[in-house]
Amino acid sequence: MPEIEWTVDGIAPRIETFLDPLLDAADFDLDYDIFAVNGRDEAIGPEIAVDFDGGDAGLLLKNRAEVLLALEQLTLEALRVPHHDRYRLIFDVDDYRLVRIEELCRTAEAAADRVKRTGGRFEFRPMTSRERRIIHLALRHEREVTTHSEGTPPRRYTIVEPSKGRPA
C-alpha cells in the first residue's frame, strides 16, 4: 500500500474516485470542494477538508452530522487511511466541524482554567474519539493539568484534573 500524500493534489483524486460514484448511487444533490486547511495546530489537524454544499447538505448535518461522519468514515476506510492519520482529513458542511474543533479547544482551555482554580476535576460529556483527541491535544502543554478518557463507547468521555504532584 503506497503512503498517502497529504496534499490536495495527492489525495483529491483518491477521494473523488471513491466519493463520486457513492454520491451518484445514493442520488444525493451534493457538490464538494477539497482544500488544504491552513493555520491549524498540526497535531490537532485537519490538513485536508472536503466541504459539501447543495440541496442535500442539510441532510448531512442531521442527528449531530451522522450522515456526514458516515461518509467520512467510509471514505477513510476505502482509502485505507491508518488510524493514526485519520485526523488529517475532515468532511464538513458550512464549517460545522471546523468551528466545532475551535469550540472544543476553547472549552478545553476553560476546563483547564477551572481545574487549576478549584483543584477539582472536570468531566466532559461523552464524545467521539476524534473530539476526545482534540481535548487531549489542546491541553498537552498544560503542566498543571492532565487529561484522560474513561468509559466505553459511545459513552466514553474525557476528564481534566490536576496533575499529580503539582499544586492545582
* Strand segments (E) across the chain: 31-36, 48-53, 89-93, 122-123, 145-150, 157-162
Tell me the pLDDT band of 2, cut-offs 50, 70 and 90.
low
Q: Hey, what's the cell of 17?
A: 474516485
Tell me the pLDDT band of 139, cut-offs 50, 70 and 90.
very high
DSSP category for residue 71: H
pLDDT in tens, 14-57: 999 999 999 999 999 999 999 999 876 778 879 999 999 999 99
The yes-or-no verdict on residue 168 having pLDDT over 60 is: no
C-beta atoms surrounding 156 within 10 Å: 14
pLDDT in tens, 72-110: 999 999 999 999 899 999 999 999 999 999 999 999 999
Mean per-residue pLDDT of the chain = 93
Rounded to an integer, the average pLDDT of 138-159 is 96
